[in-house]
A = this chain, B = another copy of it.
Amino acid sequence: MGLTMKAYEIVLRHIEEHILDGRWTVGALLPPERELAAQLDVSRTAVREAVRSLAAQGVLTASVGAGPESGTRIAPQHAKVLGKVLQMHVALGQFSVDEVVETRIMLERSSAFTLANNVSADALALLGDTLAAMEADGLDIDAFNVLDTEFHVTIANLSGNQLTSVITGAVRQSLAAPIRVASERLANYAEFRTGLMRQHRRIFEAIALGEAERAADLVEFHIRDSHRILAIEDLHPTSQEPTTESMV
């Protein structure tokens, strides 16, 4: 099997091994593409394709130019990429909106519960800021949705688990497009938004009071209620198995 390995896979494996071994850690500078190509005895194209692959996964970043800021490095941060990947997969209809919502509920119940049991003044201040921002006047749908997401992700974030936080953000982001569309066709959107903000306030208060179970319940109700009102359906329902044309 190893004999027919594609050129870019050689590069891919080379880089991945260095990372898994710990030889290249966050911030490390990779050799220039031309040099790496020479080392591995493949074309520069192959190196570039491998680098692109890893960049798409948020593992590498490339910057053009000269000096210490340039070159290809192990990426310092990649939460966004994970979110984008998940979003794409949801858009492909692999997961129903129902599933995504249920997953959201599980994740966010847990975060709210944990945070409520372990809340600090700083955390409350931060969370309060996002609440206030959301209640500002003149926000259009998109701006509001960004802040809405921020509120939920902040709770996950403050609960102390970065991985949970990233997944929460990704799951919420994957719903961004359908939520926007559904919001736009809501007759009483203003009223809907007011309701959301009231629910957010209640969640905030429960967390502030350390009422963990109640906070979790409120989060669940909040999510279910918004989706009930928005009545989001799957974008690309039940992507059929391409019926194998066996007519012969």
Chain A residues near B (Cβ < 8 Å) = 8, 16, 19-20, 22, 25-28, 45, 48-49, 52-59, 68, 74, 77-78, 81-82, 84-86, 88-96, 99-100, 102-103, 106-107, 110, 161-164, 166-167, 171, 177, 235-236, 239, 241-242, 244
For A88, the closest partner residue in chain B by CB is: B59
Given contacts A28-B242, A57-B56, contact A85 B88 (CB under 8 A): no
Q: How many copies does the complex hold?
A: 2
User: Are A26 and B94 touching (Cβ within 8 A)?
Assistant: yes
- If A26-B92, A106-B107 touch, does A55 touch B53 (CB 8 Å cutoff)? yes
User: Which chain B residues border A59 with CB–CB below 8 Å?
Assistant: 85, 88-89, 92
Interface class of chain A by DSSP:
helix
- Find out whether the CB atom of A56 lies under 8 angstroms from the CB atom of B58: no
Contact check: which of B27, B57, B163 meets A103 at CB < 8 Å? B163
Question: In the complex the two chains form, is A161's CB within 8 Å of B99's CB?
Answer: yes
Q: Which of B56, B86, B167 lies in contact with A56, CB distance below 8 A? A: B56
B102 touches A85 (CB 8 A): no
Considering only CB atoms, which chain B residue lies closest to A73 in the complex? B242
What are the residues of chain B within 8 A of A45 when measuring CB–CB?
A: 45
